[in-house]
Structure 1
Amino acid sequence: MTVIDNNILRNEAEIRFRIDRFRQAGEQIALPEIALFEMTKHPTAWPDTTRRSLQLIAQCPDALVMTHSTKRMGLAEENTGEPTRSVISEQSTARVRAILRDISAGSGDEIDALFRAVAFYRDEMDYEGHARNSHDMLSRLAKLAEPSLHPKYVNQISKELAASDRSSFRRLLVQALPASQHRDAMVRRSVPFWIAQRLTDVPSVSTLFAMAVGAIAFEWTIRRGVATARPERVGNDIIDIEYAIAGIWIGGFVSNDTKSRARYQDLQVLGSAIWPDHASWLMRADAIEPR
């Protein structure tokens, strides 16, 4: 199974390849629930956008599975103390497959089905609110990160990032984002200590999400752009986390977005440093470009 980015859905060569893989070997395509959010964020054009995005995969609905949002998985972890085992959402998978069958059959009912299926995501994930909240959160984190960054070091890493070299940046993240920091942050949010400890002892969605947000905050600080960045751009960076975490759990990620693939790899490196006993699981599949 492989997670695909929303931008891959209209890539005919890649989707046909993935459908063939499913028919020959049963290997499915996974799509995070956040993809429905991306497809439906335009207030009026979303039905047509969504239908066009799903037309190719509608040729084989059973090839597609949907993954839970990190918010839902993280809340479940913090309520139970049990790290996420499966990221697959059976409810969302059944709902989207039904839409794909409508699209494939050309029944004329797909727009109504689309509306019913995505109403939840549009209401829960309010795009403008999501972008605004993401920008505010990263602005606060960037201010916290800034004192720990020496100007000379920042300039050097900034040059390396501009040259697509993330090695020094990743070493910084490993030093600056220890597991204990994520554990203590959960405790401050009233998560019981034993749960917070459990969720940082082994790979968990809660800790990976916190690491990913911290990494983005450091990158924005180093690039010195968060104060003037549009909320929508920052919101898109947070959306990248949804794909990265789903890809790590499932074992593979396909995207034509260089930045999204880099964020996936950042998390692999960070996770392997925090949980060396799980490094082989975290690093078992890379983020790749489509055909």
Structure 2
Amino acid sequence: MDVNVDAGGEMGDDDLSVIMSERRRLTNLAYRMLGSLADAEDVVQETCARWYAMPAERRQAVASPAGWLTTVASRICLAQLGSARARRERYVGEWLPEPLPGHREGADGAAADPANPADPADRITLDESVNMAFLVVLETMTPAERVAFILHDVFQYPFAEVAAVVGRSAAACRQLAASARRRIRAAQAPVAPTGVQAGLVREFKRAWEAKDVRSLMDLLDPEATVIADGGGLAGALLEPLVGSERIARAYAGSAGLVGGRTLRERTVNGLPGLVAEQDGVTDTVIAFRTTGHRISHIWVVRNPEKLRPWQG
């Protein structure tokens, strides 16, 4: 990452140490707020640029550089969330968060070399707050709700500090976070253990490759939903597909996607998923949500601009 130093000062070791120690946390914060690794990188870059744009004496006077960086990054995210809705109204088809590969997982699914970690996707901590189902619910929140909830409930910042970011009172921020929690609870359903999910994804892969409509239907919840994101840059459904039979028949007939491609089981945002590769290049990433012993949601990302972390 490039950093800028103000014309009147030099970047000291302490300054560099502050930035390097905070980059991972800021990237984690911004990805959860924006649902985009590329945008998160831009936020971190802009935050660091603002830090180094200050005269050296002002930087030295900041009592908590980490707190300053968090506040600035969060405010940038809040502003971006405010404009994102207008941009997504012009987006071709459905918009989905940017999927991430498993921690230190290389393009072929194997563990990457610890001495040469993926960057920056490898800096995202994969937990329940980045699984695709969680990120999709975050997209239904207002910008202020999302920022307040992530800062307080995910990153444990007190409401007094959240208020400084959102520009509202601590009491108002407490209400924003409570509203966000209600959205999360309303969207939650019992989730199968990871081992069960992996088995369902594996069976889905087998049935898909075999074009077995009946087996696909048996794996799907009757009201299952598929949402795909091609962004107008790759073929994808423009509207959600609902119902186990419709989905099963669509997948069994999707020879154009499976033909000539290799399907692999991969970790997608911390949970079992699938990727499709053509000539060694990942062009489709599929995330799943399982309820009980059936698949209830399938999210398909084909927009190549969102698949950079998946390329070798």
Q: Same fold (TM over 0.5)?
A: no
Q: Which has the higher helix share?
A: 1
Q: Relative to total residues, which structure has the larger strand share, 1 or 2?
A: 2
Structure 1 or 2, whichever has the larger Rg, is: 2
State the TM-score, normalizing by the size of structure 1. Answer: 0.31
